[in-house]
């Protein structure tokens, strides 16, 4: 449901549903986090972004390349290049997607 809301550009509703999910004690999965991070990137809700990043760390899914790629993209869209770089630097097995996300983040902020 959260992914559907994000795909339909209902980012605020997706974040509200995620908050309800957390309050209900429903376990957070990788796919849900990816959708929520996309919603965060589009709304530039930095406080929510930090909260989701903490959940990612707690659930130990911050080592997954696809999650890290989305985190890099999210922080870059919010103008937090330092946070994007920190995530990137901590990825052990960098794939082409995380490299591309970091290069795009730097380029979009004039750091060619």
Number of independent structural domains in the chain: 1
- pLDDT for the residue 49: 81
Domain containing 61 equals: 2-108
* 16-57 tens-digit pLDDT: 999 999 899 998 888 888 899 888 888 877 778 888 888 888
What integer pLDDT is reported at residue 30 of this predicted model?
81
Where residue 73 sits, what CATH number does that domain have? 1.25.40
* Helix residue ranges, H only, 8-64: 11-23, 30-43, 46-58
Tokens of 11: 């980012």
Proportion of the chain above pLDDT 70, given as a percent: 99
* Global pTM exceeds 0.75: yes
Exposed e or buried b for every residue in 42-72, given b needs 16+ CB within 10 A? Answer: bbebeebbebbbebbeeeebbebbebbbbbb
The pLDDT mean for the chain works out to: 88
């Amino acid at each position: 449901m959260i992914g559907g809301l994000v795909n339909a550009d209902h980012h605020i509703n997706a974040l509200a549903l995620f908050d309800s999910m957390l309050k209900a004690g429903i376990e957070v999965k990788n796919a849900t986090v990816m959708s929520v991070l996309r919603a965060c990137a589009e709304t530039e809700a930095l406080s929510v972004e930090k909260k989701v990043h903490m959940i990612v760390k707690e659930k130990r899914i911050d080592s997954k390349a696809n999650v890290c790629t989305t985190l890099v993209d999210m922080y870059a869209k919010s103008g937090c290049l330092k946070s994007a770089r920190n995530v990137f630097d901590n990825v052990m097995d960098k794939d082409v997607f995380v490299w591309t996300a970091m290069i795009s983040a730097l380029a979009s902020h004039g750091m060619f």
